[in-house]
Structure 1
Amino acid sequence: MIVTVTLNPSLDRTIEVARLVRGALVRATGTRLDPGGKGVNVARALAAHGIRSCAVVPRSGAVGDELVALLSAEGIDVRAVPVTGQTRSNVSLVEPDGTVTKINEPGGPLTEADLRDVISAVLSAAERADWVVASGSLPPGVPDTVYAELGRRLTGLGVRFAVDTSGAALRAALAAGPALVKPNRDELAEASGSTIETLADAARAAKAMVAAGARTVLASLGADGAVLVDEQGARYGESPVKGGRSSVGAGDAMLAGYLAAGVTGGDALTEALSWGAAAVRLPGSRMPGPADVDRSLVRIQGTPDFSRSLSGQDRVHGMEQIQ
C-alpha cells in the first residue's frame, strides 16, 4: 500500500474558456470539480489503476466534507483528520492551447495539536505501507522541518519516504535521506541556485540533491520530459503530447507512475512519463486510468545529449505548480 499525506488539500475547480481576457466577462466552455492537493492527486492516480492507496488529509468545514466525499467516491481509503482551519478551494482557468492560470488559496493554518493528530494518522497508516508520499505546500503554522521529521520517523519504521515540495521544506527534507524526491524545473533551479537551461543543468542539479541526501531524484521538466538520477547515474526520457488539455496534476501523475512501477514491475521512468503525459491529455486535474496511458509514446535515451537546451514549455503551460 502507498500512503499519501497532503497537509494543504483543496477542492480544485477547473474552468475551460475559449480565451482569458482580463477585466472582461468570460463564459466557460466547460467545468469540473476534483479533490486537489499534490498528495491527493497521487492517491487518485494510483486508485485509478487499482493500486491500493490511503490518503491522509486534514479536514474542516463544508469544503473539507466535500473533499472527503469526492475522494471516497473514487475508491480511496481516506484518513480525514478534523482540524481547526478551513480547507481551501483553488480555481484553474484553462485555455485551448493548454495555458493554465491557477489561483490557489493559502489554506487554513494547522495548530500544533492539529499537526500532531495528522502525523499520528500517517504513522498509523504507515504500519502497512510500502511507501509514504509527502507532497505539496505547507499551510500556515507548519514548520519547514515537518517533512524531514516525518521522514526520519518513517525510516526508523522501515518505510520508504518520497517528497514532492519546494523551498525550505525541500531543503530540510533532503537531509533526512528520502528514498525519492520529485522536483520540477523551477525547484531544481531554486535548490541549486542556478538557472536550468539544458539537460546537463537539470542532471547536475538533481545529482546535487542526491549528494545532499536523496537516494533517487525524479526531476520533471514539463514538455521536455524527465531526468531520473540516483547513485548509478542519470537517465533521460520524454513522452510528447499533442493537443494537451491541462497540465494541472501532471507531475503528481508522474510521481504516481514511478511508484506504481514498484507494484507492477514496469520500468519506473517509462511509467512515470506515460502517466504524466496521460494527465496532460485530460481535462482539469483528472487523473489517468489504464485506458489513458500510452507507453508506446515514451522515448528513453540511454545516452542522452545533455547539451540539449530545454524548451521552457513547462513554464508556458503552467506545468507543475506547487499545490
Structure 2
Amino acid sequence: MAAGDSGATEERSAFVFAPDPVLTITIEPRPDGGPELHVHAGGQGCWIGRMAMTLGLAVRLCGPFGGETGGILTDLIAGEGIDVRGVPVAGPNGSYIHDRRGGTREVIVEIDPIGLSRHEADDMYGTALGEGMSSSVAVLAGSRSENVVPVEVYTRLVGDLRELGVPVIADLSGATLSAALRGGLTVLKVSHTELVEDGFAASADVGSLGTAMERLHAEGAETVVVSRAGDPALALVGGELWEVPPPPLRPADHRGAGDSMTAGIAVAVASGACMRDALKLGAAAGALNVTRRGLGSGQREVITKLADTVVVRPAAGWSRR
C-alpha cells in the first residue's frame, strides 16, 4: 500500500516543508491607546500548518532552527499543537518587527535567515523525506529568500514523495516553483502577481493566466490553482479552467489568504475529496482568514459552513488556444 493511502496512518496528517520559519513581533494599539506586543511563529510554512491543523489534520512541520530565534520559534510552534521536526542549523532564523499602530503595517526591521550548509541541507532533505512519506499529504512552502535551501532539494523531495505515493502540494514562486515542477506536483498553487513577475504570464487577464496555467501543467503540475487577491481564483483541472469566487466577506487584513487557501486544499486532498470540493474548502479558508488579524487562523466550523456557499464554475472569458 502506498504511503499516502488511508491505511498508512491511523490519523490523517499533513507534512509541511517550511524552509523559513520566522519570529514575528507586531506592535498593535491597545484599546486605551498604549502599545501591545504580539509575538508569533510566522513564515509561509507556519501559516499553512496552522490552518491545516485548524481544519483537523495532525501537522508535522520540518524546518531549520538555530540561534536564539530558533529556540523561541520551536517552543511557539509546538505550543500551538504542531509537531516540530526541526533540523538544527548554525545560523539563526529570520525575524521581523512590524508596527501596526497607525492602521498600516510599518516595517521596523526585517532580518533574513542564513543559507543552509551542504550538510544542513542534506539533513533537511532526509528529515523531510522521512516525515513526508508517513503523511497523508505533503505541502511545500517557500522562503522570503531563495538562498536558504538549494532549489534542487525541491525537485528531489517532490519526485521521491510522489514515487512513494504521497500527494504533494506546493505554494511557490520563482526558482523553487520551477524546481518543484520538475519533480511532478499533485497541485501547484501560485498567485497571479507571481506568475506575471516570474514571466509565466504576460498580464493578469484571464486569457494570459489560463495560457500560463496550461504551460505549468505541461511542465509537471497535475492541477494548477492561481489565487487573485479579491477576484475569483482560477483552477486548471483535467484540462478545464474553473473560477472559484470567494465568499463575500469584508477583509481586515488581506495577507494570508493564499496560504490559507493552500492549507484548505491540502486538507481536502488528504481526506480523499475531489478537486472541486478541495477548491471550495480552500476558498472558504482564505476568505475567513482575511477577516482576522492572525495569519493562518480561523474557526473550523465557520470555514466548513462557508465552503458550502462556494460555487465552482467554468471561467468566463476563456477559450483554449
Same fold per superposition (TM over 0.5): yes
Q: Secondary structure at the match of 2:254?
A: coil
The CA RMSD measured in Å over matched residues stands at 2.6
Whole-Å Cα distance in 2 between the matches of residues 28 and 210 of structure 1? 51
List aligned pairs for 1:1-323, cutoff 5 A.
1-16=13-28, 31-94=37-100, 100=105, 104-137=110-143, 138=145, 140=147, 142-264=149-271, 265=273, 267-293=277-303, 294-295=305-306, 298-306=309-317
**Shift in alpha-carbon separation, 1:222–1:117, aligned structure 2, 3 A:** same
Using structure 1 for the length normalisation, give the TM-score: 0.83
Contact 1:136-1:164 within 8 A present in 2 as well: yes
Whole-Å Cα distance in 1 between the matches of residues 263 and 220 of structure 2? 22
Whole-Å Cα distance in 1 between the matches of residues 198 and 52 of structure 2? 28
* Deviation (angstroms), 1:192: 4.0
Using structure 2 for the length normalisation, give the TM-score: 0.83
Structure 1 unaligned segments of length 5 or more: list them: 19-26, 308-323
* Deviation (angstroms), 1:104: 4.3
Q: Secondary structure at the match of 1:182?
A: strand
Partner amino acid, structure 1, of 2:217: V
Whole-Å Cα distance in 2 between the matches of residues 54 and 251 of structure 1? 20
**Shift in alpha-carbon separation, 1:256–1:28, aligned structure 2, 3 A:** farther
Q: How many residues align?
A: 298
Identity of aligned residues (%): 27
Query: What CA deviation, in whole Å up to 9, does each residue of 1:40-68 have, x standing for no partner?
Result: 21111111222111101111122111111
**Shift in alpha-carbon separation, 1:245–1:32, aligned structure 2, 3 A:** farther
* Deviation (angstroms), 1:15: 3.4
Q: Secondary structure at the match of 1:225?
A: strand
* Deviation (angstroms), 1:5: 0.9
Query: What CA deviation, in whole Å up to 9, does each residue of 1:150-187 have, x standing for no partner?
Result: 11221222222222221122122212211111111122
Contact 2:169-2:266 within 8 A present in 1 as well: no
**Shift in alpha-carbon separation, 1:299–1:200, aligned structure 2, 3 A:** farther
**Shift in alpha-carbon separation, 1:285–1:101, aligned structure 2, 3 A:** farther
Contact 1:238-1:300 within 8 A present in 2 as well: yes
Contact 2:55-2:264 within 8 A present in 1 as well: no
Query: What CA deviation, in whole Å up to 9, does each residue of 1:1-39 have, x standing for no partner?
Result: 210011111012233469xxxxxxxx8765422211212
**Shift in alpha-carbon separation, 1:119–1:224, aligned structure 2, 3 A:** same
Structure 2 unaligned segments of length 5 or more: list them: 1-12
